[in-house]
Structure 1
């Protein structure tokens, strides 16, 4: 289903579709009755099936460890050849970073202080070297939250209740739910984001650490440019709505980013 739906979206968009391959978190496996210890193997096998369906003229049979299909014959074919570009988001899983680099997929870091993000991007570049190539900045993307208002003070005050609700209520969960035993490697446990399991965060602490970018247009432009140079990435995947931020404030934020941030950054 995913292979067909992604291929359909690729055709509808005229080849502008980007395919995101996400493992998710442990809680999502609990809710669907799937053993989280099988997460990585299931994810990689699903990837192999989807890419094969995109690139191989069917029909063919697929008999894996988890997925079994007697008859695979994808229609429509993807618009892009051989298939849409693949992005791999992660909170910093060592095995996910290595896998993304091996396949030369864009690695998208979600959450984390900017210095931590820079470390994960460096790890991706090191893994790319092991695979015999030099990763470009185009292969690193950062997913972050941005909120813009006329002044820094106004931006902080407006965004505070919504970002703190997201960070301290919606995203926070017990470690055994976020990363249950067997879900990830011991190496990846070393990189658990403190923002997910530590003490409650204020908007000031998140902003100062570069987990989010909140401020006036000038402040946001300066920080985004600074963080780009620090971490080495060419794409920012911006969350303009977060937590309990209402629709009217979200639209204002989107307009401000579109009119006062991106044009200057692109130039």
Structure 2
């Protein structure tokens, strides 16, 4: 096969795998922003918290990062419940979700970053696992396991959440809470309780996304800022509240960034990917699968 064609195919495949990672880091925002209308810009900081939890367990106990993420899920869920309760009492109950509500999450992001810096410093940290380093070779196609394994885990998480939202009463209540709270009350469901559970669920995804992040690349406390614009762009591009649209948008941005980095240089990748976002929203303001 021609070398340039092989390079193109590998760039596309790497972009698809990268898109799986973007889907993982965007899932929590798809729940909090897309379904609950809560602009949680601190979510990437809690993804970093998940990365450092995986780093500690890997360094001290030798645990696999993904196994650590599964063990940490309940703790992250409870953390999300606690954060929502503070937000609800301070802002939502008073019907004050203006810039002061947004500043709450700015402050939360800043506090989390500072705490990580004080505990771990500013050096990059990484983890060890059997799938970090090796690649699968299928002819001219190269599949790095450090991207392939996170991609598979990310897709399992998204599919599991989609099934939970579509097939359980609680999941359907979460999808309905931002649309019609009165109807939800008529179904004997407390909207505040449902939103608390949903926000906890969005935080739980940060544990898995954090483990995936530190598998793919070394991390330091401020690296989460790089993903703030990207995760919100993916959610808007996919269509708010649509998991399927989010995955399509994440893979699209991943492929665009990979192709741009391969043929034009990595410095152009963010500009081109956000250019695709602007063009898509100009043609379809509701997003790819928005209603």
> Do Structure 1 and Structure 2 share a fold, with TM-score over 0.5?
no
Greater strand fraction, Structure 1 or Structure 2: 1
Higher relative contact order (CA 8 A, sep 6+): 2
**TM-score normalized with structure 1 length:** 0.28
